[in-house]
Structure formats: structure tokens, C-alpha cells
Amino acid sequence: MKILLFDIDGTLILSGGAGSRALTKAFQKLYGIPNAMDGIDAHGKTDPEIVREIFERKLSIQPSNAQIEEVLREYLNHLEAEVVNSEGYKVLPGVKKALDVLSRGSEYLLGLATGNIREGARIKLSRGGLWKYFRFGGFGSDASVRWQIVRKAVERALQMTEFDDPDLILVIGDTPRDIWAAHRAGVKALGVATSKFSVDDLLEAGADAALENLADLQRFLELLEKLSS
């Protein structure tokens, strides 16, 4: 049994900025500020981390958890329409086929390790028909810090595989933050260079392996074998 924990944005899909637009609308509605996401680098950050950063940098407020949750609830009110109408939305190369193959049989258990809150993850993956592949995950609604999200995903995976000792637990993500979080949570990390970071960037960040994308399924499967030993 191999447990694979996928990041979402930049790894499985690109939302074409839908998440940023929905969050901008939430801040506009609740706090009256335009362009909340301008100058904010969201790569590899969790939803609650991004919201906190906007509060601190744009509003000079140290937000309470209740304030962060309120913004994220408002964000969800806008997200579905933004995702459905997003021209730049795409499923990244090879992802659909890889998930189809990996979800057959019982060798792999597929989960998510994402900074998205759970409902946001569902909305973003549903448009591409990918939500159905994932039976569990760790989300930005479980914790605000990425490595704790990974740990939560691992915990849930181990509950599901109680009688089956995994020979690999692997995070698959597109940013150094995914790599660091995986290692801090005690599991391996595979980098995919499908967004801002190159294969070299991801290896330099400590990735156990890195690929340009998941289009070469054979190579991906071989790496999974190699990482298991």
C-alpha cells in the first residue's frame, strides 16, 4: 500500500486566479478594500495563512480565528461562480490519466494535502471531475500551518489502512512549502514543476524526487516504486 497525498493548486489544477478573485471579493464585501490579493504571494500558503497576511498587511489588524473564518465563509460564497467561469482553469498535464490508473485496485490510497479549506478544495476539483478520486485529506480547515495539515492527512490515511502497513507515504506538490511540510511531518515529497518552481528549485528545496509534470505516467510510476524502497 502506497499513500499519495496531493496538493491542489499548481499540482492537479490551475484555477486561473479564481481563488484570488473570490478572496478579493470577500474582503471587498466585508472590509471594503479593493484588490486585497495585490502583492500577496499565495504559492504554497494555506487559505488561513493568506487571509491572515491580508489582514496584517492591508488592514493592519491581527485577526482573531473568528475573523479569519468569517472571511473564508464569505470566500466560499464567491468561489463556485469564480471557478466555473474561470477562463484560465485547467487540469494539469497527465493528472486525469494518472489518477485514473492509480485509483484502480488497492495498491494506492489517494488523498489530499492542501492549504485549501475542504469546501474550497471540493469546488476547485469538481470542475475538472477530480474530486471523486479522493476519499480523504488534510485541509486548510484542519490547521493553518501546512505541515500540520500533512500530519492530519497522514493520520486519516493510517486510520483507513489500519491493517495494512504502508510502504510509502508521499506528498506530491509544486512548491518548496509542500516539500518542507512533508518532511516536517515525517513523510517523503515529490515535486512537480507545473507552476512557478522548476525541477531544480524543488530538488534544491529538498524534494526526494521531482518531475516536470505527470504526463509521463510510466516514469511517475517508476519513481513511486523507487521511493518505496
Nearer to Mg ion, 49 or 63 (CB): 49
Q: How far is the CB of 105 from Mg ion (least distance, A)?
A: 27
C-alpha–C-alpha distance, residues 63 and 67, integer Å: 6
Q: How far is the CB of 130 from Mg ion (least distance, A)?
A: 14
- List residues near Mg ion by CB under 5 A: 7, 9-10, 174
Nearer to Mg ion, 9 or 53 (CB): 9
Q: How far is the CB of 61 from Mg ion (least distance, A)?
A: 27
- Cα-based angle 29, 30, 34 (whole degrees, multiple of 5): 55
Q: How far is CA 172 from CA 19, 71, 121, 134, in A?
A: 20, 28, 16, 14
Nearer to Mg ion, 42 or 224 (CB): 42
Tell me the residue nearest to Mg ion as measured from the CB.
10
Q: How far is the CB of 7 from Mg ion (least distance, A)?
A: 4
Q: In which element (H, E) is residue 188 found?
A: strand 188-192
Q: How far is CA 187 from CA 42, 70, 97, 147, in A?
A: 23, 33, 25, 10
Q: In which element (H, E) is residue 210 found?
A: strand 209-211
Nearer to Mg ion, 63 or 172 (CB): 172
